[in-house]
Amino acid sequence: MEYSVVSELEGTLLKDPDPFSYFMLVAFEASGLLRFALLLILWPVIRLLEMLGVGDFGLKLMIFVATAGIHESEIESVARAVLPKFFMDDINMEAWKVFSSYDKRVAVTKIPRILAERFVKEHLRADEVVGSELVVNRFGFATGFIKCVHVDSFIYSRVAKLFIDEKPSLGLGRTTSASPFLSLCKEQMHPPFITNQKQHDHQLIRPLPVIFHDGRLVKRPTPSTALLIILWIPLGIILALIRILVGIMLPMWAKPYFSRLFGGKVIVKGKPPPPASDDSSGFLFVCTHRTLMDPVVLSTVLRRKIPAVTYSISRLSEILSPIPTVRLTRIREVDAEKIKLELAKGDLVVCPEGTTCREPFLLRFSGLFAELTDRIVPVAMNYRVGFFHATTAKGWKALDPIFFFMNPRPVYEVTFLNQLPMEATCSSGKSPHDVANYVQRILAATLGFECTNFTRKDKYRVLAGNDGTVSYTSILDQMKKVVSTFKPFFQ
């Protein structure tokens, strides 16, 4: 016999019953700051409509403002790359344990299905997702309307069609009045949820973690947080420009004192090696890749300019960089010669993940660095920011340093590990793959992260729907998006 469960998403599988912050994310990431601010301005009206209980007008107003005029592909992109992280942070684990213990799992949501379906199916392992449907015109743009008059009635009928032969075994939701579909279920369960492990013998599994995440906002934009972000952005832009300009002009030895003066902080652990002598090749600092600032922060800590190996950073970032950069081609033989030449001159920084990863995971390390030298110093890099992420997969990468320095108090942690002993390098007969895996493991253990086999291509396929190859013909479109984001503050 197959046991089935139907659960409400908001307020049940997710702790927060109010979907407003998720529409704010759609508005910001798919459209820009102007729509983000407009939706926030309308929040009191939305709350009033919800308190008066006048149908679904509050919900429909949120949907309209957040999606009207946005191409369906942009909405799908936000649902794929941005929302899962914030959904996961709000998971009610007790409800999830009950939900996951059934054979057939159905989740219902009042927000448009397109926003929740990917997360619920891939991370919560649901079989079906029932939600409202956005109206999309023949050009692929959302009209802002949904294909039903009453959301609750629509959900009720869709759930009934899924269970024609037999009623669902269990319904999870706040109350029957708030979740009418619960009346279709044989049993009902309301918060607080208690796991009944006798229903099944199979071991409970955890939700699939979110490894790749895009978007600029660090915190879920609740009304108070969103207001704080909007008020901070003008000041943040000014502060970022000052930090960048003064940072470029200052010598390396003065940067640590300057960063503390303007609210930044660098935490250093471990002992770095001394500069390479003239009669020996340089050290290869192998770093975890958290942001574009990793090599710059490392040079600041070492009080000397260490050249950094780069792949696909923007030309503007190269121009503004206070340290030398060595652009690689991703052609193995050519890149190996470039790295050897630089090591013959002195120290060098490399991030073998090949791209940044925000979450507590390390991507697969390329073994190229292990083939070229035995003087390997692993360095664990991590950072903390309050408002904005300093990496992006789909946005304009030239803005990464600006967004990093727009944060009120950016913090970097740099942990130097001991130089690899000779028996752990290729000189002892180990393969480059084994050396790379070993360095990945010790760095992950230092940071409390998990190792993965995912690569740069995997990241970009998930977040951007491509293999990460930069097309410079798209820079103009990216610049237009940037201008539209910040334009309200310069009018």
Q: What is the DSSP string of 152-200?
A: HHHHHHHHHHHTSSS--SEEE-S-TTT-GGGGGSSEEE-SSP---GGG-
> Is-cis flag, bond preceding 488, omega within 30?
no
Which pLDDT score is estimated for 277? 67
- Tell me, yes or no, whether 358 lies in a domain: yes
- Tell me, yes or no, whether 210 lies in a domain: no
Say which CATH number the domain at 484 has.
3.40.1130
Which pLDDT score is estimated for 134? 96
Is the same domain home to 195 and 267?
no
Is the same domain home to 11 and 156?
yes
Q: Is 91 left (phi over 0), alpha (psi -120 to 50) or beta?
A: beta
- Tell me, yes or no, whether 225 lies in a domain: no
- With beta carbons less than 8 A apart as the criterion, state whether 364 and 333 touch: no
Q: Which of 275, 267, 19 is nearest to 131 (CA)?
A: 19
Which pLDDT score is estimated for 302? 92
Which pLDDT score is estimated for 49? 92
Which pLDDT score is estimated for 488? 44
- Report the alpha-carbon distance of residue 21 to residue 375 in Å, rounded: 49
Which pLDDT score is estimated for 315? 74
- Tell me, yes or no, whether 227 lies in a domain: no
Q: Pick from 173, 199, 225: which residue ends a domain? A: 199
Helix (H) or strand (E) holding 414: strand 411-416
Is the same domain home to 343 and 477?
yes
Which pLDDT score is estimated for 1? 67
Q: What's the sign of the alpha-carbon dihedral 446, 297, 362, 89? A: positive
Helices (H) and strands (E) in the chain, counts: 19, 16
Is the same domain home to 187 and 291?
no
Segments forming the whole domain that contains residue 119: 4-199
- Report the alpha-carbon distance of residue 38 to residue 149 in Å, rounded: 24
Single-letter amino acid code for the residue at 400: D
CA 296 to chain centre: 22
pTM of the model: 0.88
Cα-based distances in Å from 162 to 3, 77, 106, 127: 14, 28, 9, 11
Is the same domain home to 446 and 354?
yes
- With beta carbons less than 8 A apart as the criterion, state whether 138 and 72 touch: no
Is the same domain home to 80 and 139?
yes
- Tell me, yes or no, whether 241 lies in a domain: no
- Tell me, yes or no, whether 237 lies in a domain: no
Which pLDDT score is estimated for 252? 81
What are the structure tokens assigned to 349, written together?
Answer: 């920084």
For the chain, residues with pLDDT lower than 50 are 198-203, 471-476, 478-479, 481-483, 485-491
Q: What's the sign of the alpha-carbon dihedral 7, 115, 389, 359? A: positive
Which pLDDT score is estimated for 468? 64
Which pLDDT score is estimated for 375? 93
Is the same domain home to 30 and 165?
yes
Q: What share of the chain is helix, strand, coil (3-state, %, to 5)?
A: 45, 15, 40
- With beta carbons less than 8 A apart as the criterion, state whether 137 and 143 touch: yes
Is the same domain home to 26 and 175?
yes
Q: How many domains, the chain?
A: 2
Q: What residues pair up with 412 in beta bridges, in sequence order?
A: 266, 383
Is the same domain home to 50 and 148?
yes
- With beta carbons less than 8 A apart as the criterion, state whether 83 and 22 touch: yes
The DSSP 8-state label assigned to residue 218 in this structure reads: S
Say which CATH number the domain at 161 has.
3.40.50
Is the same domain home to 331 and 424?
yes
- With beta carbons less than 8 A apart as the criterion, state whether 362 and 438 touch: no
Q: What residues pair up with 211 in beta bridges, in sequence order?
A: none
- Tell me, yes or no, whether 240 lies in a domain: no
Q: Which of 359, 384, 380, 352 is nearest to 450 (CA)?
A: 359
pLDDT tens track for 289-330: 999 899 999 999 998 899 999 877 777 777 778 898 888 888
- Tell me, yes or no, whether 224 lies in a domain: no
Is the same domain home to 193 and 262?
no
- Report the alpha-carbon distance of residue 14 to residue 213 in Å, rounded: 19
Is the same domain home to 194 and 273?
no
Phi, psi of 114 (to 5 degrees): -60, -30
